[in-house]
Structure 1
Amino acid sequence: MRRLRRMAEEQPGLRARAAALLRRLALLLLLLAGAGGQPAWAVPGEGDITVQGRYAFDPGGQASVEAVAGGALPLQRLDRHRAFALGTGALWMRFELPVLDPAQRWYLLLSGSPFIDRASLFTADAGGRWREQRAGDHLPVAQWAHPHDSPLFSVPAGSGGTVWLRLQNQPAPASPFLRLVSEDGVQAQRQWTHLLVGGYLGFGLLVFVVGLMHARLYRDRAFHAYCAYVACMLLFQLAFTGLGGLFLWRTSAAFNDAAPALFMLPMIAAGIWFVREATALQRHHRGVDRATCAFVLFGLVLAGVYPWARGHGAYPLLNAYGLVSVVLSITLCAWTWRRGERYSGWLLLGFLPVHLAYPFPALRAAGLLPDSWATEYAVLIGSALEIPLLLWILHCRAKDFSETRVRLRALDSTDPLTGLAIPPVLQLRLRDALRRAHATGQRCAVLLVEVANHADIVARAGREAGDRALVVAASRLTAVVRELDTVCRIADHRFAILTEGSQPSERRRLLAQHVVARGLEPVPRLPRDLSLRLRVVTASAPDGSIELTGDGTADEQHLMQRLNRRLDRMLLDPRLVVHHLEPRDAAASVRQPVAAG
């Protein structure tokens, strides 16, 4: 906790954001705590009828509805929601429906589409024959009696009657959660589901695109792993909520049956890969890094063989892989944080919403929790909180690293003391400016500025004051020019200014006067009688004071030597403050035509 407190103090605003995260997690827990009750879209008179039924188990799965209705299987009372490990058998449930309002169409809604292979509802017609309605993952959604995100069956209104529900599911336990709903209730449930999942998918796609932009901007592999994790999470939610089977692969029963596992395994693998990249695991321990890569590769291989290995132990392996991934991600984040990775602690908090939500579907898959709104939407809500939090943490991490790299690269092109450009940069820009001046007549000017009393400042106030005076001089010179102009420190206490672009012929003269005036302003932390006594010499092109050759170029080194010699002579006479170089010969100021090619 002390380390977390220090992390929050090091970065302004993180403590407030962490508090906001905890509030959202508390809201998530409240939502999940109330999820087992009546859904928000429920209409009065509708609700859960699961525990009102009686059930029987058919070990061979071959009994017909006529045999079961005739008493071939002993019925038992279902006193609570529970899971049934069916294996190759079938579960039969009998419900006595009440008298239903004939003004409405009525349906039985069976939750938990990822955990139901086959579901059939049998209702008696007017002649006493049993009519079957089929649904489940082993049947294309397009062929369901009523295509929906989970199995939906119509029931006759009027006098009520007996209905039989047959369920098959392997290898996951079957946990029936049956609701009696009207047509208005089905429509309301459909609208709420589409609103919730559609909003989540739209938000997730937006975050995915932003993540790709950050990957392009920062060139950080952690963003690529993050985008892979987000994409797999969105596909997993499509499959797990049943909307993928309803809208995307509605004609493929095999893919609809395997889709939750096929997307869950790459999602877990991408999440662990993301943890590896974001925590810089490879620089902490080579063996741990290789083991983590092997764990990621195992998940991808398992996803490839899962559709053919479901009946040969792959399902328990799938659940174990998901559980181990939670423990592994927490361990890696905590371990690297203890070893000095500052952002690993924040990643641990960022994953917390999904880690808290994961037990709901995991316990449902193990048969310890019944189907409910919580088991279906817990991970969706958790990931809706997790995905933007992880992106924000990655952004802060990449920004810090990027600023460090920018500062390191800037050392090659800037003066360490003043932050101004170095002489090679000035030389290149001056050469280009002179060529443009010859080709287009666009005026440019060069000003050399000397802090004439720098030695006096050092003698009276010390070397530190002298360095401060140079920094202040650089700041003031930068303030009097435009953004496109260049200010450079070319010697210990000598600066150069290159101005170009559209400007009047007298601008260099006015600029020189302005530079001298800014130097006379008081300097912070220096005696009040000490100011910057600046001396300036100027030259411009193409009016002739900078001599251009016939091809439009100039000898930059000769030009700078000429300006430096003139400035050195000015320093011998304290009365001279500004000098403007003029054309040596009128003929020298005439521009030559540009040669073709």
Structure 2
Amino acid sequence: MSRVLAVVVLLLGLGLALWPAHAWATEGEGDVTLQTHFWVDESGTKGIDDVVSLPPNSFQPMETFRVFQLDGTALWMRLDPPRLDASQRWYLMLSAAAFTNEATLYSRAPNGAWREQRSGDHLPVAQWDHPDQTPVFALDPQATGPVWLRVVNAPAPTSPRLQLLTENSLQEKRYWTFLMIGGYLGFGLLVFFLGWVHARLYADRVFIAYCCYVACMLGFQAAFTGIGGLFFWRHSAWWNDVAPAVFMLWLTASGIWFVREVCAVSRYHRGVDRFVLGWSVFGLLYAVLYVAQMSPAAFLVLNLYGLLSVLLSFSLCIWTWRLGETYAGWMALGFLPVHLGYPFPALRSAGILPDSWAAQYAVLIGSAIEIPLLLYILHRRAKDFNENRARLRAIDSTDPLTGLTIAPVLHLRLRDALRRVRRYGHPCGLVLVELSNHGEIVAREGREAGDRALVVAASRLSAVVREVDTVSRIADTRFAVLVEGPLRPEELKLLAQHIVAKGLERVPALPVELPLRFRLVSATLSETAKTADEPVDEMRLLERLNQALDRMAVDPRRVVLHLPQSVPARL
């Protein structure tokens, strides 16, 4: 999965990197922002006739890209189009769809009347004269005289950028935009699905927080780039206006919650954990207050919340990493692409930077790298934690020295085996094995060598049986081997010989004259036994074999005992 994600991220990043270069290479007509003149209507009520009648020196040349704070005012821009090819259709594009409430273009019709084209967030995209992800206006190449653009926006500052495009260039720009942003959204949905699968697979709350973060990131990018208004909520002007800010707050709040869960802040400081949780809840609730006020002060708080959240998340990752949370350090690196891209749109929305391609798509490119990278880090984290939990669960059913099944588990499996023998008539076998020279090994080489001998004995017993069979340590030097049926007595005798021979192989950590000497007793468990004087349960069966193995100690030369087929499996 990690290789697939890496390849997709590489291709997506390459496409995003080539996207602007290709678009600019085919536009040809270029940016005409600096060819305009501007005037700010302080009252915000002037009409086109009032503006046209203003003295010529009222308009100032747009010598540099500027940022305008238009609270209660309106920006008028006058453009004298160059001579246009009449065989082409021409369009004027205004960038930054997420930060334009009203954009109206006025041009003279051949009969002298004013032609008005409207767009902006305060008007449903479906009602725009030319619906697009950003305001687009048609130009008549045969018209004479300037065109007038009225821009209104609040509370965010606006930095208008105007591009003069032919229809072919506009279409090509649209195709590349839809391809790249559509690919990004599709890839994001795939990662969201994989995150949800991990949440169900590992039952880890961290993946739920990750899915919320990814969902808010996708919503924010759809709103911020104008794709959401064009395709998803094209009939809702109100939501198209507030969606970028709302998704930004939800994205930041869910990101802080996500960091809190991954870094396990509650494990290190209860006060910090409560503060982080409160910070996340504030972002969720502040969205309601921001939509209700929509004032410059509320917009300032929104920007401060986003900037401080970036610092907070990075600080939490580094702090918990220094306290021993290994994956917190990797999370700091995983968030780095978005953290590096965030200042561009943040400073642009604050009015410090003018609108640009980097301000529009820096976070999108960063998140295209960040989202799958975070999923890979979470996958490795969950895999490690799951292995640790599996080890902890195995402690309850595993002998700590040899790693074999403990006696209570053997009793359960032996009971089930006896039931299957009775139901299906398939005989099974039970072998008790004693490491008879363990005391000699301890006396000559020490206790550590004796423990090593037990580990080697457990390994060799496990090697001679099948995966369905059970090897268990039932005493200090005694093992039990449950051989599942159907099984013939001859096969059980052959297995016993194999066990004895396996023990005589040289043990690398012990002297050559100290092999593992096994003594064993075996029995075939069959419902067809002819002598069944009394019912036998698993405990009584083990006791009978243990007693037979104890009696064998009287004659050291005897190492194998096969009990006659008189051990019934009736319970």
TM-score bin, normalised by smaller chain: over 0.9
Alignment of 1:581-592 (within 5 A): 581-584=563-566
Give the Cα–Cα distance (whole angstroms) in 1 for the partners of residues 51 and 491 of structure 2. 102
Q: 1:524-560 CA deviation, whole Å, 9 max, x = no partner?
A: 211122211112222223255698799xx84111100
Do the aligned partners of residues 405 and 38 (structure 1) sit closer, same or farther apart at CA in structure 2, a change above 3 Å counting? closer
The structure 1 residue matched to 2:540, chosen from 539, 558, 561, is 558
The structure 1 residue matched to 2:41, chosen from 51, 58, 72, is 58
Aligned residues of 1:39 and 1:373 also touching (Cα < 8 A): no
Aligned residues of 2:38 and 2:62 also touching (Cα < 8 A): yes
Match for 1:578: what amino acid?
V
Give the Cα–Cα distance (whole angstroms) in 2 for the partners of residues 145 and 513 of structure 1. 91
User: What's the counterpart of residue 572 of structure 1?
Assistant: 554
User: What's the counterpart of residue 206 of structure 1?
Assistant: 190
Alignment of 1:332-343 (within 5 A): 332-343=316-327
User: What's the counterpart of residue 168 of structure 2?
Assistant: 184
Aligned residues of 1:98 and 1:159 also touching (Cα < 8 A): no
- Report the secondary structure of 1:288's partner residue: helix
User: What's the counterpart of residue 352 of structure 2?
Assistant: 368
Alignment of 1:270-285 (within 5 A): 270-285=254-269
Bigger mean CA offset, 394-403 vs 91-100: 394-403
User: What's the counterpart of residue 461 of structure 1?
Assistant: 445
* Match status 1:527 vs 2:495: no
- Report the secondary structure of 2:160's partner residue: coil
Q: 1:102-145 CA deviation, whole Å, 9 max, x = no partner?
A: 33322111111110001111222211211111111111111111
Do the aligned partners of residues 523 and 546 (structure 1) sit closer, same or farther apart at CA in structure 2, a change above 3 Å counting? farther
Computed over aligned residues only, the root mean square deviation of the Cα atoms, in angstroms, reads 2.6
User: What's the counterpart of residue 334 of structure 2?
Assistant: 350
* Match status 1:448 vs 2:432: yes
Match for 2:514: what amino acid?
L
Which runs of 5 or more residues in structure 2 are unaligned? 1-5
Give the Cα–Cα distance (whole angstroms) in 2 for the partners of residues 210 and 454 of structure 1. 53
Match for 2:413: what amino acid?
R
Give the Cα–Cα distance (whole angstroms) in 1 for the partners of residues 523 and 213 of structure 2. 60
Give the Cα–Cα distance (whole angstroms) in 2 for the partners of residues 215 and 385 of structure 1. 21
Give the Cα–Cα distance (whole angstroms) in 1 for the partners of residues 247 and 74 of structure 2. 28
Alignment of 1:157-168 (within 5 A): 157-158=141-142, 161-168=145-152
The structure 2 residue matched to 1:108, chosen from 92, 98, 104, is 92
Match for 1:445: what amino acid?
G
Aligned residues of 1:538 and 1:579 also touching (Cα < 8 A): yes
Match for 1:46: what amino acid?
E
- Report the secondary structure of 1:301's partner residue: helix
- Report the secondary structure of 1:539's partner residue: strand
User: What's the counterpart of residue 471 of structure 1?
Assistant: 455
Alignment of 1:144-163 (within 5 A): 144-158=128-142, 161-163=145-147
Q: 1:135-174 CA deviation, whole Å, 9 max, x = no partner?
A: 1111111111111111111112356652111100001111
Match for 2:506: what amino acid?
P
Give the Cα–Cα distance (whole angstroms) in 2 for the partners of residues 369 and 468 of structure 1. 70
Aligned residues of 1:41 and 1:185 also touching (Cα < 8 A): no
Percent identity over paired residues: 58
Give the Cα–Cα distance (whole angstroms) in 1 for the partners of residues 103 and 533 of structure 2. 91
Match for 2:82: what amino acid?
P
The structure 1 residue matched to 2:115, chosen from 131, 136, 154, is 131
- Report the secondary structure of 1:47's partner residue: coil
User: What's the counterpart of residue 54 of structure 2?
Assistant: 71
**What displacement does 1:206 show?**
2.0
Aligned residues of 1:47 and 1:180 also touching (Cα < 8 A): yes
Give the Cα–Cα distance (whole angstroms) in 2 for the partners of residues 138 and 111 of structure 1. 16
User: What's the counterpart of residue 286 of structure 2?
Assistant: 302
* Match status 1:93 vs 2:63: no
User: What's the counterpart of residue 12 of structure 1?
Assistant: none
Match for 1:379: what amino acid?
V
- Report the secondary structure of 2:106's partner residue: strand
Q: 1:375-409 CA deviation, whole Å, 9 max, x = no partner?
A: 11111111111112222222333333333332222
Aligned residues of 1:149 and 1:245 also touching (Cα < 8 A): yes
Do the aligned partners of residues 49 and 547 (structure 1) sit closer, same or farther apart at CA in structure 2, a change above 3 Å counting? farther
Do the aligned partners of residues 577 and 291 (structure 1) sit closer, same or farther apart at CA in structure 2, a change above 3 Å counting? same
Do the aligned partners of residues 467 and 182 (structure 1) sit closer, same or farther apart at CA in structure 2, a change above 3 Å counting? same
The structure 2 residue matched to 1:171, chosen from 148, 155, 178, is 155
Q: 1:459-496 CA deviation, whole Å, 9 max, x = no partner?
A: 22211111111111111111222222111000111111
Give the Cα–Cα distance (whole angstroms) in 2 for the partners of residues 46 and 561 of structure 1. 95
**What displacement does 1:503 show?**
4.6
Do the aligned partners of residues 185 and 44 (structure 1) sit closer, same or farther apart at CA in structure 2, a change above 3 Å counting? closer
Do the aligned partners of residues 219 and 306 (structure 1) sit closer, same or farther apart at CA in structure 2, a change above 3 Å counting? same
- Report the secondary structure of 1:43's partner residue: helix
The structure 2 residue matched to 1:257, chosen from 228, 241, 244, is 241
User: What's the counterpart of residue 489 of structure 1?
Assistant: 473
* Match status 1:84 vs 2:68: yes
Aligned residues of 2:110 and 2:143 also touching (Cα < 8 A): no
Q: How many residues of Structure 1 are paired with residues of Structure 2 in the alignment?
A: 561
- Report the secondary structure of 1:574's partner residue: coil
Q: 1:215-267 CA deviation, whole Å, 9 max, x = no partner?
A: 23333222221221111111111111111111111100001101111111111
Do the aligned partners of residues 98 and 489 (structure 1) sit closer, same or farther apart at CA in structure 2, a change above 3 Å counting? same
The structure 2 residue matched to 1:417, chosen from 397, 401, 409, is 401
Give the Cα–Cα distance (whole angstroms) in 1 for the partners of residues 323 and 165 of structure 2. 56
**What displacement does 1:318 show?**
0.7
Aligned residues of 1:427 and 1:556 also touching (Cα < 8 A): yes
Do the aligned partners of residues 323 and 505 (structure 1) sit closer, same or farther apart at CA in structure 2, a change above 3 Å counting? same
Bigger mean CA offset, 266-275 vs 332-341: 332-341
- Tell me the TM-score normalized by structure 2: 0.92
